[in-house]
Amino acid sequence: MSSAKGEPFTRIEAVVKGLFGLPCCRRRVGRRRSVSFGFGSERFHGDPKLPDGFYGEWEIGTYYAAWRVVQAGKVLCGSEDVVDSVEGLNDRLGLVELGRPVGIQMLSEFDVRLSLDENTDLDFLGTLSEADEHIVHIFGPDDLYVEYAVETGWEIGTSAEPLR
């Protein structure tokens, strides 16, 4: 692993560059308004209990942080949208056209943005005071796991083993 405050952001950009340019193949709002976006080829998992039959080759999302999809300065969909159910929010997200990732950046020490083409952004926003909750996670090929938490910074590991 890396230093106590995590990996430098330039290393993260290099590690996730394989995500850039891939089409969105999956999007899902889950329990507690969590969200995940799949990019690249579909990877079938064979678990009939899950709502989608596959994950993307790359997955980016959050379990607890707030999130939003922004296009040309307008929020198209977000975790705090007023809807009757998580299914309603999932339906709303399904109507949003998502492009291909072109970059990743830190908006602040609390917020991460995945920029897509077509002037669209996926923002993951740190709004919780719990120090151990991460803002965003990224799963990639070969069991790559990357996460960002305010307390620990960026960390790179494997999805087969816990980071801490």
Q: Which phi and psi (to 5°) does residue 104 adopt?
A: -135, 145
Mean pLDDT (the chain) is 88
Predicted confidence at residue 162, as pLDDT, reads 61
- Cα–Cα distance measured from residue 7 to residue 76, given in angstroms and rounded to the nearest whole number: 32
Banded pLDDT at 3 (limits 50, 70, 90)? very low
Smallest CA-to-CA distance from 140 within 43, 49, 52, 33 is with 43
Q: How many CB atoms lie within 10 A of CB 121?
A: 20
pLDDT tens for each residue of 92-143 = 999 999 999 999 999 999 999 999 998 999 999 988 776 567 899 999 999 9
